[in-house]
Amino acid sequence: MRILISTWSLQVGGGEVLAMNLAAELSRRGHEVFVFNQRASLIDHDLVKRLLPPAVKVLSMADRPVRSFWANKGNALQQRLGRAATFYDQQQQYLAKCLQRYRIELVSSHSTFSDKMCAGVVKKLGIPMVITEHGDYSAFLLDGRNDFSPVLHQAERILTVSNYCKRKLEQAFNDLPPIQTVYNGVVSQPYDGALMRQQLQIPAGAFVFGMVARGIDKKGWRYAIQAFQRLEITPGGRLPYLVLVGGSDYLRQLQAEYGADPRIVFTGQVPNPDFFVAGFDVGLLPSYFRSEALPLAVIEYMASGKPSVATRVGGVPELLEPATGPTGLLVNIDPVEYTPDLVMLTDEMNQYYHDAALYAAHARNARTASAGFTMAACTDQYEQAFQSAVRPAPTV
């Protein structure tokens, strides 16, 4: 099958990484895969090189730099004059040409902007589209928005990354195309945690809390630091450390505030977060990000056999409370302020630090549960959904 996967950007982010990993796995299975980057300037070339094989062609308006330059200039001028911007029309025209040139049979879209951009084009060309809801539509509904319904109706199928997102859509609309939950998969590379600790000069016997996420405040970085600083340290016991994996201006600001503590380690942006996760004892994600649907970071913790302490947002409870047994501890979100309960976050981190039996049980559960979140299992379901979308409807 000739498949075009459309994304908002090609940078670090759950939806973007899933889209690139999906493209790579589909290509390995013999499909002809193209990735369309809606925001040509938002691209992490090192990340793309690491995740996408050469057989997957990346398309964007960067392929037409002169036209893209003047279109952006015109777009900015139109916006300053209070007129409708037509740059997006140029992108749609280019997308249409790509779909025709490469004889695309199906479009798989992975962001709200991309969904809207693709919807009109695929309708005119008669190409089926499958939309993946990564949490943005659920966040829109929380804000009282439901104006995106016409875009969803252009899809043959809608895939949601968690049952939480599926329920939100089903409660808001009763006439959408078929909706199916397909849990995100991850591609994890095994590393030796001892090497990570050696590189960061962390004692081999330390108890390491760690966090991997996008470098924005709503992922809960500051709360992780504050809870860590409140831990009840056992005299003569394992000394706790906190490793924060990610890069951004916001994280550099936090490093300026807290970097003097030798037990708080900021790694900056890294190409291989799995290397650092291998050296964790516990993964953290005290997120209060409203679009949090099914964070890849928690799945990566599980794949490495690390239990998590994470907030009760989006689909996170589906990861931490599976039928096979708890893989972590959940922290409540304040319903008014919509921020993590810092006292509870500290208490749950203390539980893992002090209760070795609880920690060991949840670590075993995490490793077991991670088998359901491989990229192979995820891609199996995407392939089935794609085949259903392109299959002609039975005649009556």
Residues in a beta bridge with 179:
158
Query: What distance in Å separates the CA atoms of residue 286 and residue 309, rounded to the nearest whole number?
Result: 7
Residues in a beta bridge with 311:
331
**Angle 202-261-353 (CA atoms, 0-180°, nearest 5)?**
60
| Model pTM score | 0.87
Query: What distance in Å separates the CA atoms of residue 173 and residue 145, rounded to the nearest whole number?
Result: 12
Nearest by Cα to 140 from 103, 177, 115: 115
Q: Which CATH class for the 2-184+375-390 domain? A: alpha beta
pLDDT in tens, 2-60: 999 999 999 888 889 999 999 999 999 999 999 999 988 889 898 899 999 999 999 99
Q: How confident is the model at residue 229 (pLDDT cuts 50, 70, 90)?
A: very high
Q: How confident is the model at residue 88 (pLDDT cuts 50, 70, 90)?
A: low
> Could you check whether 2-184+375-390 and 193-373 share the same CATH topology?
yes
Q: Return the number of other C-beta atoms located less than 10 Å from residue 77's C-beta.
A: 11
Superfamily designation of domain 193-373: Glycogen Phosphorylase B; (3.40.50.2000)
pLDDT in tens, 368-390: 999 999 999 999 999 999 999 99
Three-class secondary structure assignment of 62-113:
HHCHHHHHHHHHHHHHHHHCCCCCCHHHHHHHHHHHHHHHCCCCEEEECCHH
Q: What is the structure's pLDDT at 246? A: 95
| DSSP helix/strand/coil, 211 | strand
Query: What distance in Å separates the CA atoms of residue 130 and residue 180, rounded to the nearest whole number?
Result: 11
Nearest by Cα to 262 from 213, 292, 291, 228: 228
Q: What is the rounded average pLDDT for all residues in the chain?
A: 92
pLDDT in tens, 300-345: 999 999 999 999 999 999 999 999 999 999 999 998 889 999 999 9
Q: What is the structure's pLDDT at 84? A: 58
Q: How confident is the model at residue 77 (pLDDT cuts 50, 70, 90)?
A: low
Give the start-to-end residue ranges of the domains of the chain. Answer: 2-184+375-390, 193-373
